[in-house]
Amino acid sequence: MGQLNLSKESWSSQTVFILAAVGSAVGLGNLWKFPYITGENGGGAFVLVYLICILLIGVPVLIAEFLLGRSGGANPLQTMANLTRRHKASKLWWLLGLNGVLAGVLILSFYTVIAGWGVAYFISSLQGSFDQISSDAVGAHFSGLLQSPYELLFWHTVVSIATVMIASRGVRSGIEKAINFMMPGLLIILLILLGYATTTGAFGQSFSFLFSPDFSKLSWEAVLIAMGHAFFTLSIGMAAMMVYGSYLGEKQSIIKAGLWIAAADTLIALLAGLVIFSIVFANGMEPGSGPGLLFQTLPVAFGQMWGGVFFGTLFFALVVMAALSSAISLIEPALSWMEQSWGMKRSKAAWLLGSVIWFIGIGTVFSFNRWEDFDVLGGRNIFETLDFITTNIMLPLGGMLMCVFVAWVMNDQVREDQLKLAPLWMKLLVFDLKWIAPVAVMVVFASNLVAADS
C-alpha cells in the first residue's frame, strides 16, 4: 500500500493493465455524456462521426499514447523530457505533458460533481424512491437535486475525498479488485436494461435514432463535439494513458490493449444510448434535454421492472465506481508529476490537488442553479466552458501532438520495438498518425473557427 509502483514490473499481467486502462476509459463519458450529447446533436449522423473518430483518430492516438508512456517511462512531463533528449527534439515538448496535467485537473473538477449526482441517486434508489416512479416524478426529483446547491456541494465533496483517498494509495492497489467485478456487473445490468428497453415499444425508434444518420442536422460544431468526445471517452490526449503506459511491461501488447479498450468502451456507450433513448421515446421525453438525460430516464426503467430497486441501486453504485476508476486516472498525471519531479509525498500531493480540484468544482456546482446563465464563453456557463475547453480543445490538441511526436519525431526502430506490428499494419498506422489524425483535428478546429466567424 502507498508505495510508488513505478517500476516496469508493476503490472502483474496484461489483464491487470487492461483492467486499469478500461477502468479509466469506461466512466461517465459512456453512461452520462455520450447519450446526452448524442441527443443534443440529433442522433445518427453525430454517432457515425463519433465512431469514425474512434476508429481513425481514437485508436491510433491511444496506441501512440501507450507507446510514448512505455518508451518514456515516467510522469508526462518527465516522459516528454526523456523522449526529447533521446530523440534530440525541441525542449518545448514538455508543454504536451503540462497540457495533460492541466486538462486532467480541470476535467476532474466537473467530473466529481456529476459523479456526486450518481451518489445521490444511489442513496435515493436504496431508499426505494424510484419504485413505480413516473417520468414526470423523476424529472421533478432531478430538478430538486439540481436546485439544492448545498446538496450537490456535499456529494461533490464526498467524491473528491474518495478520489484523493484511492489515488493516494497508488494506481494499482486502488483499482485491481474493484474493476474486476465492476466491468462485468455494468455489462450485465446494461443487458438487463436492454431487455427492458425492448418491451417499451420504442426500441426500434431508439435504434434508428442512433443508427440512421441525417446529415442535415450536422454542424461543424457537432463534428467538433463528436471528435472531442472520442478523446474524452478513451481518456486520450491528456497523458492519463501515457502514465498507465509507463507502468506497462515490455512484453505486453500495446496494440491488443488499445483495440480491446476501444471496443469495450464503444460497446458500453452504445448500449447505454440504446437503453436511454428507448425510455426517452416511450415516455414522450425530449432527447436533447441535456446533462440530466441519464438521471431523468433510467429511474423510470428501474421503477417499472422486476427487481428494479435492487438493480437500480446496484447500477448507480457501479456508475460511481466507474466514475472513481476514471477519476483516479484523471488525477494521475498531475499526481505522478508532483511526486516524481517535485519530490512531494504522494498522499500530500493528492490532498493538495484534491483541494484545488474541489475548489474549482464549486463553479460547476453552481452552474446547475444560481449561475446557470452566467456567460463565461460564447453563451457557456462555467461547467460548459470547462467541458468545452478541455474536451474539445485541450484533448484533441494534446492527441494531435502525440501523433506528431510518434510519427514524425520518433524513428521506425523505436516504433517497431514497441509495437511489433506486421509491416502492412505498421505502414497504415504510421500513415494515419502522420497525416490522417493530425490533419483531421486541424481541419475540424479550423472549420469551427471559420463557422464561428460567419
- Rounded to a whole number of angstroms, the minimum distance from the CB of residue 300 to ligand PHE is 23
Shorter beta-carbon distance to ligand PHE: residue 30 or 79:
30
Stretch that binds ligand PHE, among 7-15, 197-205, 234-242, 400-408 (CB under 6 A): 234-242
Which of 279, 330, 338, 437 touches ligand PHE (CB under 6 A)?
Answer: 330
Which of 19, 21, 28, 248 touches ligand PHE (CB under 6 A)?
Answer: 28
Chain positions contacting Na ion, by CB under 5 A? 25, 29-30, 233, 265
- The footprint of ligand PHE on this chain (CB under 6 A) covers a number of residues equal to 15
Q: Which does 326 bind (CB under 5 to 8 A by kind): Na ion, ligand PHE, none?
A: ligand PHE
- Rounded to a whole number of angstroms, the minimum distance from the CB of residue 60 to ligand PHE is 17
Q: Which does 24 bind (CB under 5 to 8 A by kind): ligand PHE, Na ion, none?
A: ligand PHE
Q: Which of residues 90-119 bind ligand PHE (CB under 6 A)?
A: 107
Q: Which does 38 bind (CB under 5 to 8 A by kind): ligand PHE, Na ion, none?
A: none
Stretch that binds ligand PHE, among 2-10, 56-64, 233-241, 417-425 (CB under 6 A): 233-241
Which of 11, 66, 142, 232 touches ligand PHE (CB under 6 A)?
Answer: 232
Q: C-alpha grid cell for residue 262? A: 476501444
Site string for ligand PHE, 35-54 (x = CB under 6 A): --------------------
- Rounded to a whole number of angstroms, the minimum distance from the CB of residue 118 to ligand PHE is 12
Which of 238, 248, 262, 264 touches ligand PHE (CB under 6 A)?
Answer: 238
Q: Which does 314 bind (CB under 5 to 8 A by kind): Na ion, ligand PHE, none?
A: none
Contact residues for ligand PHE, defined by CB under 6 A: 24-25, 27-30, 107, 232-233, 235, 238, 240, 326, 329-330
